[in-house]
Amino acid sequence: MTAPATSNDREKVVSKLPGWLRQSLKVRAAQHGIEIQAAVEQGVAAWCALASVPAAVDTAGADSFSTFLPTGQWEEFRRVAADRKVSLVQGLAQSVQLWLDANPSPDVQRPAVTRRIVVCNQKGGVGKTAITAGLGEALAESPDALHPVRVAKALTKALRESEEAPEAAPDPLDVENLPGLGMRVLLVDFDPQCHLTNQLGASPLPMSGDSLTNHMAGDPKGDLRDLVVSVDDETFGGRLHLLPACNDAFLLDVRLSAVRAREAALERALAPLEADYDVIIVDCPPSLGLSMDAAAYYGRRREGEKTGQSGALIVVQAEDSSADAYELLTTQIDDLRGDLQIDIDYLGIVVNLYDSRRGYIATSSLQGWVDIKDPRVVGLIGDLKEQKETVRVKQPLLSYAPKSQQAVGMRALAREIS
């Protein structure tokens, strides 16, 4: 059956497809960056050109499916199906399967050098842990499924709307369903308070055992890999791991003071793990001490690495105390750059826990962050209940509330800095 087209060269086609095949078509078309109608067009053309009928496809439970095909293609398809004594539903299913077979899922593009993202701010309570977890989860989501993402242009739009109508929250509905990024991600809880570890439902490492602190201080008690735990394999397919924290990190600055080349201590400790991951994200403590020097050094640009692949991601809130802390942090990083003659890139600023209903303080502070330009604002995450709930239930945000505004924003952030 056909209906008038919305354009001069296509007509609407209404048929049926089984749900599993329709979902595979949606995901694969998104992976290849083409419209579903173009994929069906290519599949139908290839099916009509076959010399023989391919294997039958299970069409049990097929329900309504519509698309637009070039004028005349559906009639040609109907004629070929009649000649082959194949139902239209079976012929269409075979056409879609033919296209899927000819267009396999593309391989995930792995970085040549493991990316290192240092999530930091000297001020506590800005939500560094939530951003670390959400960013890692967004990077690790399955590339064989579609997830709601706030597209990059929507961040600019949200900021503009916030300026024009400060009483309204940024529009969360400008989303697009996109395949996950499929990265292999290691989250490093570098904070002795163990917030990231607890939030993701893991147990802090015992003081009497091995820890990242021991490895940085040159006193390891085993292989660091043995301390790594996997996070929610059902959702992230074994791609998301966590290196838990230990309370002994409260003593890290003291122990580092006796270590040679202490700025490189974190890099030396994590180097054996890098080959297993595409991205390593470090959740830093609210500190300007030696541990922050080590974290910033770990995020430096390495030889052969592109600008902006690794570096510091600064989390702030839209209020004045974050601005003060930001100045302290950037001064420390700039001093480290000059003292050690290294390049440490700023990946951007994430304005977290934003709520325009707080009035002038929030909206004017947000504008102040936007005006900085370098580093630029790369994420705007609202102050909503889902993140607080994930902390209470000790589950990842993107598995607990995958369609929430915060989850949509985390995916946008992941793509903005990728």
The pLDDT tens digits of the residues spanning 268-321 come to 999 999 999 999 999 999 888 999 999 999 999 999 999 999 999 999 998 888
Q: For 175, which DSSP code?
A: E
pLDDT at 4: 42
Residue 177: CB atoms within 10 Å: 12
Cα–Cα distance measured from residue 333 to residue 312, given in angstroms and rounded to the nearest whole number: 9
Q: Where are the alpha helices (DSSP H) in 264-384?
A: 265-270, 290-298, 320-340, 360-372
Q: For 143, which DSSP code?
A: T
Residue pair 13/69 in contact (Cβ under 8 Å)? The answer is yes
pLDDT at 412: 95
CA angle 374, 377, 380 (to 5 degrees): 170
CA distances for 232 relative to 31, 150, 241, 297, angstroms? 24, 24, 9, 30
Query: In degrees rounded to 5, what are phi and psi of residue 248?
Result: -65, -10
Cα–Cα distance measured from residue 170 to residue 388, given in angstroms and rounded to the nearest whole number: 20
Nearest CA-CA partner of 178 in 29, 20, 30, 22: 30
Query: In degrees rounded to 5, what are phi and psi of residue 162?
Result: -65, -35
CA angle 13, 16, 18 (to 5 degrees): 140
Cβ neighbours of residue 305 closer than 8 Å, sequence gap 6 or more: 112, 113
Residue 262 in tokens:
């202490």
pLDDT at 5: 43
CA angle 376, 381, 385 (to 5 degrees): 165
pLDDT at 152: 55
Q: Say which residue the tokens 């009509």 belong to.
A: 48
Nearest CA-CA partner of 118 in 312, 285, 376: 312
Residue 140: CB atoms within 10 Å: 29
pLDDT digits (tens, 9 = 90+) for 125-168: 899 999 999 999 999 999 999 999 987 554 555 555 555 554 44
Sort strands 240-243 and 185-189 into parallel, antiparallel or unpaired. Answer: parallel
Beta bridge partners of 115: 279
Cα–Cα distance measured from residue 339 to residue 341, given in angstroms and rounded to the nearest whole number: 6
Classified as helix, coil or strand, 283 is strand
Cα–Cα distance measured from residue 151 to residue 348, given in angstroms and rounded to the nearest whole number: 17
Cα–Cα distance measured from residue 187 to residue 217, given in angstroms and rounded to the nearest whole number: 20
pLDDT at 168: 45
Show the low-confidence residues of the chain (pLDDT under 70): 1-8, 152-173
Give pTM, 2 decimals. 0.89
Sign of CA dihedral 128, 132, 133, 137: positive
CA angle 348, 349, 354 (to 5 degrees): 150
pLDDT at 3: 45
